[in-house]
């Protein structure tokens, strides 16, 4: 069995790092990844994918990246089930294992 995903996209929202109750660092990142094909109107659509970063990866991305930066992400897909108002809801997120910074430092202020 294999659960592995590789994505290249731009950071779509500000990244905030948080500390968990057991002392680990975690942050959520939304990655904007354009599709490689056009829709019926002839436009490229973009998927906004939720990513979770832990510990050192969370710290580094929070420190060195900002909205609009291009990054490569390697990780795995995780599905979650939660109950709200008596109904089951399902969500999917990317658990990030490695981030490659692809934006040039020259473009940073």
What is the pLDDT at residue 106?
54
Could you give the CA distance from residue 51 to residue 73 in angstroms, rounded to a whole number?
A: 9
Mark the ranges of the chain whose per-residue pLDDT is less than 70.
104-109
6-19 per-position pLDDT tens digit: 999 999 999 889 99
Q: Which helix (H) or strand (E) holds 59?
A: helix 55-64
What is the pLDDT at residue 105?
59
C-alpha torsion sign, points 81, 83, 89, 95: negative
What is the pLDDT at residue 2?
93
How many whole angstroms from its chain centre is CA 95?
8
What is the pLDDT at residue 16?
86
Sequence-separated (6 or more) residues with CB below 8 Å from residue 93? 49, 50, 51, 52, 77, 78, 80
What is the pLDDT at residue 57?
94
What is the pLDDT at residue 94?
97
Other C-beta atoms within 10 Å of 93: how many? 16
pTM of the model: 0.82
């Amino acid at each position: 069995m294999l659960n592995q995903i590789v994505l290249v996209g731009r950071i779509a929202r500000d990244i905030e790092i948080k500390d968990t109750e057991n002392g680990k660092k975690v942050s959520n990142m939304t990655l904007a990844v354009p599709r490689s094909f056009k829709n019926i109107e002839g436009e490229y659509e973009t998927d906004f994918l939720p990513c979770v970063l832990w510990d050192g990866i969370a710290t580094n991305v929070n420190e060195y990246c900002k909205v609009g930066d291009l990054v490569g992400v390697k990780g795995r897909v995780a599905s979650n089930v939660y109950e709200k108002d008596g109904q089951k809801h399902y969500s999917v997120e990317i658990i990030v294992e490695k981030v490659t910074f692809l934006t040039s430092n020259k473009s940073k202020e």
